[in-house]
Structure 1
Amino acid sequence: MLGSLRRDGHSKVIELSGEPGSGKTHLLAELKHEAEAMGLPALSGCCAETEQHLPYRAFTAITGSSLMVRALRNLTVTNRDVLTLMLTGELAAPGKPAPHSPAEQHSATQLAARYLLMDCSRDGLVLLFDDFHWADSMSTELVEHFVQYPLDVPLLLVIAHRPHQVSRRLHGALARATEAGAVEEMELSPLSIEQSAEVLDLSPADPRLPHLHRQSSGNPMYLRSLAGLAGTGDQHGAKGHTRAPRDTGPRGYPLSPQTASILKETASLAPEESSLLSAVAVLGDGFDQAALAEVAGVSPDEVPPAIDRLIAKDLLKPVNRDTSLALRHPALHPLLYAHVFPSWRVRAHRRALCLLARRGAPAADLARHVVASPDAAGHADVRILECAAREALWSEPDRSVLWLRTALRILRKSDLPDTQVDLELSLLLSRALIYSGELTDGHQLLRSQALPLREQPAHIRVPAVALHALVAYLLDHGDQGQALLADEPAHPGAEPPVEAVQLYLVQCLLGMLSNRLPSPEQLESAVRIAVTHRDRVAEAGALALRGLCQALGSEVADAGRTLAASAALLDGFPEHRLKQCSEYLMILGRAELLIGRFTTAKQHFERGVALLRSSGHVHLLPVMLIGLGNVCMRIGPLDEMLQAAAEAQEVAQRIGAYRFREAAQALRAIGTRLTGSEDVASAARTAERALAAVPPNAARRWEADTPVVFANAARLSNAAHRCVAAIVRSCGGPALEAVPPALRSACFEMLADAAVEAGESAAEWSASAVVTATRLPGPFSTPYAAAAQAHVLRSRGDHRHAAQRYLDAAAHFEQAGLIGDGTRILTLGAACSAASGQHDQTTRMLTRAEELARKFGASRPYESLGAANHSHRDGSTRPDSQPDATETLSMLTQRESEVAALASTGTRTRDIAKQLGLSPKTVDVHLSRIYRKLRIHSRTELAWLIAELGGLPARLD
């Protein structure tokens, strides 16, 4: 628009509207700077609320410029006198007659102003008016005139205003002109979350950003104010300029420029207006005039006119069909509240508390006023806080923490302390702390209440003991948790409370660390207790618990029936029924994972994660997310696995549940390796850091399927010997004692594969996988046993039969839904098929592997599938992904060629070393160099590459 201003040769008008703080002033400043850079004169003026009584005040601000002074000199004497009268109220030359009537004077003023602007705008002019909603009536009429009768000069007039405060007359004139095409309308929209990040100089992934953006509604001024960006450091800005002294609040505290700008709007308020505005800040939005009057301490007769003035100033707005009032923007609440004098604020909160109690408001609405005035509180306020905290425990436990701490402080300062109430509030506080992620604080508080808790009735004691043992499990204090459960007294003849089901659940979690699971009698007792109390949710949880123990004890068929009954119950409950027992979904999902019900396990983990998030409970999030990531590691998609693992790692670190951090880290390493979002070396280093954190007594520390995660992470290492050692170490020794029987075949298959890559015998690991699968046939054993047998055939150089066995195993994997492992096995099978010259079968296997890899979301180690498959389709003998592969093979040294030739046939490392007169360690070094030169990662890929290229090139030396 600026570029075409001189070319078009006529005046233009832009209406710039936006809410307070939306960036109008900043945009005008940028427009002025851009105009001046283009050689266009630019003049700006700003209207003020306190100057609305001065006529033509918007224009007097710009007449002092040198451009205007020169233009005034060029006017006729008559026009100059008219403008002087307009601007100063006095004639330029005393004694000369003024226009006879106001109408004549008004017409003469418009004409003189036109002459003035036409003279100034011959070579182009930009006039910028800010805050025009505060313009006086004469300035408004003059702008209306220019809008209605454009000038034939290159003049750009920009009018910036707030839409809710602009006069009806100006709004109507601009609207009519916009419809006629004489005015271009621009409305500043809220910032996007990406733009908000740029304004605050934050990363788009910063966890604070969504809340700030939501609270500010994308308004730049509110965004900066809420973020508290303005510091109190040195006063020197960019380029050495010194900033003006910062404004201060009512108590002398420094204010940010944005907050100061907001508070300036309230500086001219009358006392009753200021009190009413402060009452809204204390009460919140949505209250009627009577409530505001009572809280503000203002006479009811003074309220209506004061409210009208606040609405006219756009500080308040009517809501709920004009029956109540609200601040113009929610972000004003914390800004205004922070600058209400404390003593007045405390009294206002007590008045608000009485008002709301009389009106029957919910406990949560009362609690915030008690917290804001605790020194005036008593026992009745303690009951309010307790009631509010119990309600918030299942949606906002962090608010429960605040309210309960306040309640305990009030109770302990009173003249009549109550030890029983103190104990019950402390137990409730410990629960709120744990749910909100303050595990250590909650654990310490429970320990401090251990002695008085022993004398409590079962309905108070049992839930507290179960919670204490659960947090001990999360903090990796397994022995302490076991001791707590052992100390819980039995009551023969007395019916245990339904909360006893929680005791058995925690006993199972702790038992997986020490191989001391609940007995069948205890599991039956848990179900019986739930049925006796007619608690269907607890019954579903008890069934899930029994199914998990059955799965861990290799009773797969029984576990399947039990878990089906549990799932049928839990799936039928609405969300609010499960918020208090999301751990049942965790137990159910883990049990289903153990018996190969991957789809339903994923559904239950996802529902559990959603429940925890909606209730604000983070204590079980790492466990639930690791379970979800574990399922996705098998059936995909991998992006969900990565997301779950990353969140689990972050939450575990934040809440101090470090025992789950390593498992999440290992999951991330697997995901980044398979998706290609991290290079192989980085992923391997991440996995090795996670494995290094696994203690020697892993068999007692890790439970259920966690060792399998570490076993999969160990495969990322290019050093096969280290891979075998890491798997054996993290899974409880060669017998894999730390791994549940249902999962052992998968680990034995990994060991067989790693042994082949290391050039060692895989027969023993394969035999163990087959034995396990024979005892426990199912989706988590049969496919892996077949794959382990194929590894043995491959190690013997029997590529034809290995390819067929891999094909059989892949069919089992697909049938079980294990598409990740199915893709891996098909890739290995295709390599063996290519090595044995079965190119048609290789193409079929690669095609299917490519399809599964896309569905799984993997790129590595399958990134070459597409190129390799293409080479088979067009009959070429060299993969497109490595066009210089033949030349690369020629770059191998004589010794490396000898090692490569033997390794590609499946010869073991020590046999290679024996044949070539080398040490096994030297052979490993040569293999590492070969892999690096050829850009491959395993002996299988080496065999594939050599077979595809027709063997190693002949060497003259």
Structure 2
Amino acid sequence: MKHAAGRVVSPVLIGRAAELERLVAAAVAAPSVTVVEGEAGIGKSRLVAELAARPELAGRRLLKGGCGQVREPFPLGPIVEALRGRAADLKDATLSPVAGSLRALLPELGAVLPEPLPPLEDRAAERHRLFRGLADVLAALGPAVLVVEDLHWGDEQTVEFLGYLVGALPDALSVVLTYRGEEADAALRAVTARPPDPVGREHLVLRPLDVAATQALASAILDAEEVSAEFATHLCARSSGLPLAIQELLALLRSRGVLIRWEGGWARRALDELDVPAGVLASVQERVAGLPDRARAVIQAAAVLQLAVPAALLAEVAGLPDLEGLDAALDSGLLTERDGMVGFRHVLAAQAVYEGLPLGRRRSLHAGAAQAVRALRPVPLGQVAHHLRHAGRPAEWVAAAVTAAEHATTLGNDAEAARLLENLLRHADLEPVRRAELTIRLGWVALNVLRVPAIGELLAEAIHQDLPRRVRGELRLLLGLNIDVTRVDQLRIRQVFVDAVDDLEELPEYAAWAMVGLGVPTITDRPLDERMAWLERALDTLPADGDKGTRLLVLGKIAMVFAVVGDPRWSELTDRIVKETGGRPVGRQETVAYKSIGGTAMLTGHHRTALSLLEAALDSGRSSRASRADEFRLRLDVAMVRYLSGSWDALAQEIATLRDEYARRPAERIQLSSVAACLAAAPGRLGTAHDQLLDVIHEAHARGDGDILPLPVTMLLRLAAARGAAEPALAETAGAVTTWEAKDLWPVGVRAVPALAEAMLAAGRPDEAAELADRYEARLRGLDAPLAEPALAHARGLIDLAAGQWARAAGRFAAAAAAYGLVPAAYEEAQATEHAAACLFELGDPAAESTLERAITAYTRLDARWDLDRATRLGRRWGLRPVARVRPAESGEEHLTGLSARQVQVARLAAAGLTNQEIARQMFLSPKTVDKHLGMAMRKLGARSRTELAHHLTDRLADRTDT
């Protein structure tokens, strides 16, 4: 005899009272953003459902959308879902003209949207306008709560839009996001990591239920006063405390009839009768098997579809002539219905049903699903492809997947296009030419995403087919570029580029690009003359009348290599590129040219030129809403040049943000970690910084990234010398030094010469220090190397200092400081100035005190507390009592001034004379946001002008320091 399942959902929320109160409080305190994080089955959706029923939300619209496991190239699906039925609510709203850009995305709102806007040529600019339009509509719907569930499945543009929205959240809007923590990448977490100051932030992490909560939940589900403690303990262990698993196990036990009432509670007939198959899978499958045939067909169709769909479509996929069977399926508790859309209550149950389907039945349902979802508008192309694949119809699957990938690329969703194409190439049986075409498409798309997939074997497989030479050559070029980024199978890279050159005779721009690959020192270990010959050949090969974007990109890469080896022609090529682009790059290839040059020129000491190029590219990208990958790389390089030049205000925060958001590629991760470790040393966290620097050096050395190595090597050696551990540090960094010298990166490596000399002197090796300075001076002669003059003077000053040649050392240090100031390199300038003061004290020169004061002032501005302590001790040794005006930690400043950390940063920069535009650029904010923070700071401090603001800050912070 079959037993009815009965209630399988608790009528009350159990074990989440505190979380619900925090969620409600955040939702009503608009503007706010709340994350509900937890594993599958933990109860995220139930918590959000309880939020919707709370009286505190009366008068607020609940805008709800969810992400599906089968992703779509059609972007912003959850946001569209949340807004689709809101035409009546917007009837009397005043929307800005930019909302007209939503007509194609939300045709259901056509009657209330402004007139359509003319299309823009730039895809990124179009996307930015779309984001503005969505934000405008959401603001008009306020007061409201926007809920986006299962964001771990969200498409890239949905995540990007939410980041945009949180950054400028309307006052009457709260956002609630749910996702599985184990499936949430850094970009998703970054959406809510650091919202603007006016935006409240709450982060709820749902944990499994304990035995007491399991007991309460079971009692509520079974409508009993209490279940036995023994029963609850076993139930909690079998379900791992997941509410969904608890519900499913109880439903199964009830349907089996093995639960009986006993003295007002519930108990098991025998404890071992609960020993059902592990997990939820078997319990769900057994429940489904006991349902009527039509209800079972509906549930199976829902498991194949995975997403909530209209009830009629579900019946169509199930092969039913009407909706008979739907009620029984809903009564089972496995499915849920909202606004005519039916889907599984939880993905775990859907997966359980799906895995229990026989292959033939599964394929038949997928075929029906592919046909049915084509009737939806807009057509979910990704779902069509997914269902055709699993229906066993490969030819149709290939065509549908390619269409979906093309659509994704058109919409700027390169990550989704790459995923679709890679999946196709790994699993579809394609004829060689077609495979090659799709592999080339994947290769180019993959280079545009932050997480470049390791697709080297796919490229290599396509190359080995019988193909036209130009097709094979393009594949070889892409393989080389992919190896360069991923550093997988590096030993092959040189030969790959050589072979590409031979095959690309008909595509001279690409041939020149491959030649550049053979000239890049981090790619090949060939002698400098051979590398330079390839660059010369690339210049001769690059056609003057070819594709402008590709030509400028390749010229930028040639200039990049010239800069890093000190060939002065890099400047001529840079001027040529800037002139041809009018100082403002347009499109991704021109932006890459600016980034390539700026990202290497800074390493050789051309800090001002580098910053100018990088900021031009970043400003251009922002105005056209460049891809997240491109914006990240530019922001990273700007942060790097700010560190190198000594502009450290808010830099640690920017580096932390970049690491949280985007540190996915090894090269970028190393660069970020280098700056982060160097900054960690500044406040005196020497042990932590040492370990971080050593890790960075080992990783960069293993990858052959010689151009980044001098930065962490310099700081590691300075720390080691200060701690009396110079000898082991020299041994630890010897391989890194050999790497950049073997690659002829002398203009880059000279940055580390003072630290190397200092460590050698501390280790009692003065002859090696002198030989080091002589070697670099000889190798740098005639090269374009701005750091050569100050670094070599600094190193020779240290050698003289160790020998007691105070006057000569003081002169060298003064010359070094002056030359560092011209670069500029403020941190190194302060170090040379401090060393000069030490020499002047030894000489009894009265200028010693003022010289030391300059170093202390510089260290204070940089907040370099480790260096500041050392400089202060130097003064005290000579009978002085220098005041170390250390900038207070931000928390201290907040307490002192009543300002938030962000308001303090903005106020500092405004007081220093920067315009709102300059502050926005430096802090990566919008000018509007800067104006808001500045206005709040001035009101709190009672300042009526920037001059008064500067006086208020100076007085208050000085008072704090003096006390």
What TM-score comes out, normalization by structure 2 length?
0.54
Note the C-alpha offset of 1:452.
Answer: 1.4
For residue 514 of structure 2, the aligned residue among 482, 503, 506 is 503
- 1:677 matches 2:685: yes
SS in 2 for 1:488: helix
> How far is 1:818 from its partner?
0.8
Q: Partners of 2:293 and 2:638 in 1: how far apart?
A: 61
Distance 1:238 1:845 in 2: 77
Structure 1 residue 822, shift from structure 2 partner: 1.5
* Residues 572-611 of structure 1: pairs in structure 2 closer than 5 A: 577-578=587-588, 584=593, 587-599=596-608, 601=610
The residue type paired with residue 282 of structure 1 is L
Cα contact 2:566–2:785 (8 A) shared by 1: no
- Taking the aligned partners of 1:439 and 1:449, their CA distance within structure 2 comes to 19
How far apart are the structure 1 equivalents of 2:295 and 2:710? 69
Match of 2:371 in 1: 354
| One-letter code aligned to 2:827 | G
**8 A contact 1:802–1:832 mirrored in 2:** yes
User: Given the superposition, is the C-alpha separation of residues 581 and 482 from structure 1 closer, same or farther in structure 2, using an over 3 Å criterion?
Assistant: farther
2:302–2:350 Cα contact (<8 Å) kept: no
Q: In structure 1, the residue corresponding to 2:391 is in which secondary structure?
A: helix
1:338 match: 351
In structure 1, what is the equivalent of residue 493 of structure 2? 481
Which residues in structure 2 correspond to 1:25-174 (within 5 Å)?
25-26=14-15, 162=50
The one-letter code of the counterpart of 2:235 is: R
* 1:422 CA drift (Å): 3.5
Paired AA for residue 370 in structure 2: L
Amino acid aligned to 2:457: Q
User: Relative CO higher for 1 or 2, CA cutoff 8 Å, sep ≥ 6?
Assistant: 2
1:470 to 473, 481, 484: 481
Seen in structure 2, the aligned counterparts of structure 1 residues 260 and 641 have a Cα distance that, compared at 3 Å, is farther
Which of 377, 391, 397 is equivalent to 1:375?
Answer: 391
User: Equivalent residue of 1:860, what SS?
Assistant: helix
Is the 2:473–2:503 Cα contact (8 Å) retained in structure 1? no
AA aligned opposite 2:798: H
Separation in structure 1 between the aligned mates of residue 796 and residue 11 of structure 2, nearest angstrom = 68
Q: TM-score, normalised by structure 1?
A: 0.54
Matches within 5 A, 1:297-336: 316-318=337-339, 334-335=347-348
1:710 to 713, 716, 720: 713
| Partner AA of 1:480 in structure 2 | R
Give the partner amino acid of 2:478.
Answer: L
Q: Which residue of 2 aligns with 1:844?
A: 850
> How far is 1:780 from its partner?
1.7
Cα distance change, pair 300–852 in 1 and its aligned pair in 2 (3 A)? farther
Q: Work out which of the residue numbers 444, 453, 460 in structure 2 matches 1:447.
A: 460
1:784 aligns with 2:791: yes
Q: Residues 72-97 of structure 1, C-alpha deviation per residue, up to 9 Å, x if partnerless?
A: xxxxxxxxxxxxxxxxxxxxxxxxxx
Please tell me whether the aligned partners of residues 597 and 610 of structure 2 are also in contact (alpha carbons under 8 angstroms).
Answer: yes
What residue is the counterpart of 2:242 in the other structure?
none
Among residues 745, 748, 755, which one is paired with 1:743 in the alignment? 748
d(CA) in 2 for partners of 1:740 and 1:543?
20
Q: Check 1:630–1:280 CA distance in 2 against 1; reply closer, same or farther (3 A cut).
A: same
Pairing 1:793-804 to 2, within 5 Å after superposition: 793-804=800-811
**In the TM superposition, what are the counterparts of 1:662-673 in structure 2 within 5 Å?**
669-673=677-681
Partner of 1:817: 824
Q: Does 1:806 align with 2:809?
A: no
- Say whether the 8 Å CA contact 1:405–1:429 is kept in structure 2: yes
- Spell out, residue by residue over 1:647-691, the C-alpha distance to the aligned partner (whole angstroms, 9 max, x if none): 889999x87x6x998887766654433342342xx5445555666
> What amino acid is aligned across from residue 862 of structure 1 in structure 2?
L
Distance 1:514 1:859, change over 3 A: farther
164 and 306 in structure 1: CA distance in 2 versus 1, 3 angstrom threshold: farther
- 1-side partners of 2:335 and 2:54: how far apart? 10
What's the % identity of the aligned pairs? 15
Aligned-residue RMSD, C-alpha: 6.4
How do residues 527-606 of structure 1 correspond to structure 2 at under 5 angstroms?
529=542, 531-533=544-546, 535-556=547-568, 558-566=569-577, 577-578=587-588, 584=593, 587-599=596-608, 601=610
Alpha-carbon distance, 1:292 to partner: 6.0
Contact 2:659/2:672 (<8 A) preserved: yes
Which amino acid letter does the alignment assign opposite residue 598 of structure 2? G
CA spacing shift, 1:223–1:504, aligned 2, 3 Å: farther
- Paired position in structure 2 for 1:862: 868
Contact 1:593 1:631 in 2 (8 A): no
State how 1:885-900 maps to structure 2 within 5 Å: none
Listed as ranges, the gaps of 5+ residues in structure 1 are: 1-19, 32-159, 173-186, 319-324, 882-957
In the alignment, is the contact (CA less than 8 A) between 1:589 and 1:600 conserved in 2? Answer: yes
- Supply the distance in 2 between the matched residues of 1:278 and 1:213 (Cα, whole angstroms): 36
Give, as a single letter, the amino acid of the residue that structure 2 aligns with 1:592: A
3-state DSSP of counterpart to 1:587: helix
Once residues 279 and 786 of structure 1 are traced to their aligned partners in structure 2, the CA distance between those partners, rounded to angstroms, is: 74
Mapped to 2, the partners of 1:736 and 1:410 lie a distance apart of: 45
Q: Distance in 1 between matches of 2:398 and 2:555?
A: 39
Whether contact under 8 Å (2:373, 2:384) holds in the other structure is no
Confirm or deny: 8 A CA contact 2:642 2:648 kept in the other structure: no
| AA matched with 2:747 | A
Tell me if structure 1 keeps the 8 A contact 2:186–2:662. Answer: no
Secondary structure at the residue paired with 1:499? helix
**CA deviation string 1:300-344 (max 9, x = no partner):** 7889x989x99xx995555xxxxxx6689xx95635643555478
Question: In structure 2, what residue type is equivalent to 1:466?
Answer: L
After TM superposition, give the deviation of residue 821 of structure 1 in Å: 1.0
Partner of 1:461: 472
CA–CA separation in structure 1 for the residues paired with 2:299 and 2:233 = 40
Distance 2:501 2:786 in 1: 42
Q: Secondary structure at the match of 1:732?
A: helix
2:472 counterpart letter in structure 1: R
Distance between the aligned counterparts of 1:161 and 1:729, measured in 2? 59
Equivalenced residue count is 664
Q: How does 1:605-620 map to 2 (within 5 A)?
A: none
Q: Which residue of 2 aligns with 1:757?
A: 762
SS at match of 1:717: helix
Q: Match for 2:552: what amino acid?
A: A
Paired amino acid for 1:674: A
Mapped to 1, the partners of 2:659 and 2:299 lie a distance apart of 47
Query: 1:603 & 1:237 partners in 2: Cα distance?
Result: 69
Compared CA separation, residues 351 and 782, structure 1 to 2 (3 A) = same
* CA distance, structure 1, for counterparts of residue 610 and residue 235 of structure 2: 60
Match of 2:420 among 377, 384, 403: 403
SS in 1 for 2:519: helix
1:390/1:847 CA distance change after superposition, 3 Å: farther
Asked if the contact 1:789/1:805 (under 8 Å) is kept, the reply is yes
Distance in structure 2 (CA, Å) of the matches to 1:29 and 1:770: 67
AA at the equivalent of 2:556: A
Contact kept? 1:397, 1:617, Cα under 8 Å: no
Alignment match, 1:243: 235
1:813, distance to aligned residue in structure 2 (A): 1.5
What letter matches 1:450 in structure 2? I
SS at match of 2:458: helix
8 Å contact kept, 2:509–2:550:
yes
Q: Which amino acid aligns with 1:832?
A: C
Contact 2:369 2:387 in 1 (8 A): no
| Cα distance in 2 for residues equivalent to 1:571 and 1:22 | 66
Deviation at 1:592, TM superposition (A): 1.9
**Residue matched to 2:105:** none
